[in-house]
Structure 1
């Protein structure tokens, strides 16, 4: 680990000059220079449009199984620090940048991005035309790819392509077990807040910023493994349940959908984000589908139909809920009326759901986005208000029951 950056002597690092190549499943080859660890990595190649916040991207468990291409040409100038990771490690399968910074020039940096990639074993590539690559993925859709550097760069081109095409596609994959905690972890409500109660968070790839935002609203946040059962949830006497973001195909998460249906049957207040939104959609009886190239970045416009406000939001999803955009519909699974609450303005994708006869809602994007934008942070307040209202309703019913019993 390097010494923290100072204005007088910024840490520098030597960029690799070893050759590397990115191979896409369409057969195209994109030569560049090794960046980060040397070796071979294979995954779904996706592009992220954020100009800042790459540390949040790299440590977001939702990117497990994906090789991330940064559309911003200059990456790494703020280095990496020990305060901002969203999880316990870097999760991307690989990293593609055009021009890595040669100097770390932020006073909070503890090490260079290059060093962090090496330590994390993340194989990357630099010096490639990321604009051209983005246009390919935008037109053809996200596809499998592989980065080969070091000795792997010398492999026969046909062998490299064979390895890429032999890799599993993202459709049909359940990756929750790879990113979830193994045992329950508790973060108490932040000091100075009015405690609401225990919140059960199913960890499908939760980010630290989400936990902190929930604790800041007065919840004692119980992060549970993705294998948790309804009995595990009931055991903590929760006032509500939260489903986090995470990687993989929602259609391959039948157990999590069944668990959520039990939560809805118990009429516990529910809030889900990203993957949690897709799972709520499936629990309510709607389908999900894979987007051509997904939404990844911090500049996505979304309409909140309830307020008419357009928010600029942070996204990372390759799947979406298939539900009617307008009007109110009956839940195919019998949970009453449901409406699409938020719509993506770039392509009219469902960006949020709201149950009208149950205390449950979800959004497809990230209101916790630490690097910004913060337009959607109010959703945590909306959730806290929903839970308080539910507690008040339950207390009133209990009082009426006692009076009736007397």
Structure 2
């Protein structure tokens, strides 16, 4: 019997898996079908990546369309008054859509990440919709409708409009496609509430991250090392860290003068210029994966001040695996309540700066015991049960089995 065929329709290069979304897509979804005949179509605003393309070609057939900013903007302007979200219009071109419809007939399963590529599914014959495994990743409408007020003033109206459009678009696709997945319990519950009276085939997928061995640092004495890890070109990361440096960091430094915060990740020059002279903050830039173990062995507490966004923050899971206590904004970590106990996670309301100081005080007062508890076999097993790569792969494999006709399963 010939191997089953799966087409991955993606809007970013999944390799190298350097962030939480790419990690889940690559290790959780793509590698879950290593025994299948895989092909990849990537429609992206990212620059051409020869390394990624060489790697993916070793795994299967590959086609890539790299959209320039002018091309993306032109696609949006041509459909300025569309009812669809602008992010779905910017990546849509008719000639690619026609080729996709032909390819869709030849494969057994079509994995689509995310609803940004929804326009390519609109013309799919209803008899082929069962083939689609639509990975929403996050509920985009939840992100924009709950957080538009925290965007820059000139972008708030656009964010609100995009949220309203995504809400209608998500509802339409939930009605139309029988195999839809979303990451995390909060986004799953949110989408269920959008259509409470209807029977939806919506599945919750968990996040996965590198299952790092614990890398404990010596107990804090002369210096207390906090760290932030994330791409600061991503607006929710930038907004959260900026808020933290303005409102919370001065109180922390006043209470603990020996604090030092290390910021790891690509950083826009304008953001760096604004905050580079903040006392006690070290800007490390991007760190290769090979350097992470040595870095983690020097720091004590992970900081996640992100207030916006959806899904599950992979960097928090990564810190849990590394046995680093975490102080995180409660607004973006409600998902953690579904996975309790997550030992070492301290959640604080972003608008309550003294609570962050007290959380750090509690961690430092019992630091060795907290780190030891995070390394206990039961705590490690709990993480693997819910966030391990094998667990997430099994979730995607189960969904893909539903996409196959009965005789092909």
Structure number with greater CO (CA < 8 Å, separation at least 6) is: 2
By percentage of residues, which structure has more helix?
Answer: 2
Scaled by the length of structure 2, what TM-score is found?
0.28
Scaled by the length of structure 1, what TM-score is found?
0.28
